[in-house]
Amino acid sequence: MEEKIIDGKFISQTIKDELRDRVNKLKEEGKEVSLAVILVGNDSASQVYVRNKKKACEYVGIRSLSYELPEETSEEELLKLIDDLNEREDCQGILVQLPLPKHIDSEKVLLRIDPKKDVDGFHPVSVGNLSIGNPGFVSCTPAGIIELLKRSGVELDGANAVIVGRSNIVGKPMAMLLLRENCTVTIAHSHTRNLSEVTSRADILIAAIGKPKFFKAKDVKENAVVIDVGMDRDENGKLCGDVDYEDMLPKVSKITPVPGGVGPMTIAMLMKNCVDAVDLF
């Protein structure tokens, strides 16, 4: 039963350790990696995310430049900060923690980040590079899922992959990455007819809809690989995924738990993007 469960905590730790070695080598060559982390306002969830990102930076050996700005920061001030960071040679990556306060246009802010420093992979240039197969930054959660699959020995070439969810940060980049790995890719969404029939064809199912325990054993074929991106709350307020894990477990060949599956990979891949930034462009 053990190898059925894809251990995202373990795999993300391995990646962070590999990155730490890479950063040490870069330091020996006189190259430092640094990430600017910008937080505007007092959103408590965002404060936790930012703290975790800084902790990961510290572990890997990435210098974090921290900008914790008051809620009333104007859009103009934030754009000016990004312009300055775009120019700075001692800053390889820029991350703006979302959501931003309502008076700031998030899209305008993200567009202002130099694509060469877009370690979140959200800039349209990064998205375009991914689509046409050029080097560039990839959105961290789908990039992490590819690592989970590869490091768990899942055969991707020629596999039928079904992604449920078509968001810009998960579903769509996931589709591009799986296509790059020679999967036959289907993207399903809330208008898909006979969803269960579509998911039952999947060798690899990626569930990314944000609905607690939505997918059951009856929705997949025997020995499917199931990746659960969801971060939901069940009826008792407990963290769970989009997949009914207990129901699914006996039928699948591999599955990610929630928590401890996809979640820990996101920060590890952010760290990877920062380290890659040194030599990417």
The residues binding ligand NAP (CB under 6 A) are 141, 164-167, 169-171, 188-192, 195, 208-211, 229-232, 262-263, 266
Q: How far is the CB of 226 from ligand NAP (least distance, A)?
A: 14
Specify the residue, 64 or 266, whose C-beta has the smaller distance to ligand NAP.
Answer: 266
SS3 content of the chain, % helix, strand, coil (to 5): 45, 15, 40
Find how far residue 42's CA is from the centre of its chain: 23
120: annotated active-site residue: yes
> If DSSP codes are grouped into helix, strand and coil, which group holds residue 255?
strand
Q: How far is the CB of 192 from ligand NAP (least distance, A)?
A: 6
4: annotated active-site residue: no
Using alpha carbons, list the distances in angstroms from residue 149 to 114, 141, 177, 209.
Answer: 30, 13, 12, 19
Would you say 259 and 229 are in contact if contact means Cβ atoms under 8 Å apart? no
Q: How far is the CB of 172 from ligand NAP (least distance, A)?
A: 9
Q: How far is the CB of 141 from ligand NAP (least distance, A)?
A: 4
**Cα angle for residues 141, 57, 63 (degrees, 5° grid):** 130
Specify the residue, 36 or 240, whose C-beta has the smaller distance to ligand NAP.
Answer: 240
For ligand NAP, the nearest residue by Cβ is 167
Which of the following is catalytic: 7, 118, 120, 203?
Answer: 120
97: annotated active-site residue: yes
Two tokens, residue 251: 């039928």
Residue type for 146, please? I
Q: What is the CA radius of gyration of the chain?
A: 19
Specify the residue, 32 or 43, whose C-beta has the smaller distance to ligand NAP.
Answer: 43
* Residues designated as active site: 53, 97, 120
